[in-house]
Structure 1
Amino acid sequence: MKNSFEFKGRLYGEEIDMSQPTLADIFKGLFNRVTRRKIQANETVGISINNPSLTEINDTLNLFAYVTGCLYLEQYKQKSFEPYQLTLYSQNQKYMVMFAYVSVGPDDEIRTFDDSTRPNIMVDMLGDNWSNAMIVDDFSLVRRAFTEFYLTGDIDREIVS
């Protein structure tokens, strides 16, 4: 049985000119209303794709590698699937992912990156303070997490713990 997903996100305006060919290529026609104009400062643009392909996910991730925003890949509730949502927070080419996982009891388990070699400070990410250990600079880890979740419904605990 093929797994079904919902892909949603929000871009926060930073005066990014979307008419430039290099950025327009990223979209490949997915976001026509965005690609032909400028996102103004303090403007929020929504993204919503039901049952995205891996190509659509990667094209959108390419955009989030350089802009501020949040992106959700949510697995439709299906029997026997416990992991259900992967969230990316992106700001200033710093990235944090939260992998929501249903656990026994009233609360869900959240897994994140955990790099204990980073300085023990709190970092602002989209207006909230988070442990610096949860933040990564390497976007390939973000891409790997989204790809694994999309293909397998889970993420290796060595990536997010």
Structure 2
Amino acid sequence: MSGWFVGSSMGFVTGGAGYNAAWVFGPLGAFIGWLVSSKMEQGSNAVKNNDPAEHDGYGNDQEAVGPSAELGDRGIKFFQEVLWSVVVLLATVWNFHIDLLEKVGALPTFVRQPLLFPGMCIAVSLVFPPFFIVYFLAWVAASTFNICEETNYRATIK
């Protein structure tokens, strides 16, 4: 549902025709929602009723042991996996940016003068402000993969 909502205010043009982005983001959002709900259902099937031994009768919970602790660990692991996926996706966006710079022949200049990266970000952000947030997050994500001059500031995703 959120894919339709977000996509309804966007669009893309290709091959001389324009399309509403809701046709892309709607099914994509539905698929992601289905994946998340199926993961949650698998987790809820493993959880039994609360064990009275976990409570001391005074409202103070004892150390979490049993199915509820497993659910908490599974939730944290799921969150870490989603966060890692977002980092990899943003690092891929950074690599796409590096590929574009390479195609136009500007990458050697950017490698010699790394301050051109934030300069370009600021220049593009003056015209399209949301670019700053995406560019900054992509840079942070790519930095986790040790971008440096030796790799031409390309993230080596493992």
Same fold at TM > 0.5: no
Larger of the two Rg values belongs to structure: 2
TM-score after normalising by structure 1: 0.24
Between structures 1 and 2, the one with greater helix share: 2
Higher relative contact order (CA 8 A, sep 6+): 1
| TM-score normalised by L of structure 2 | 0.24
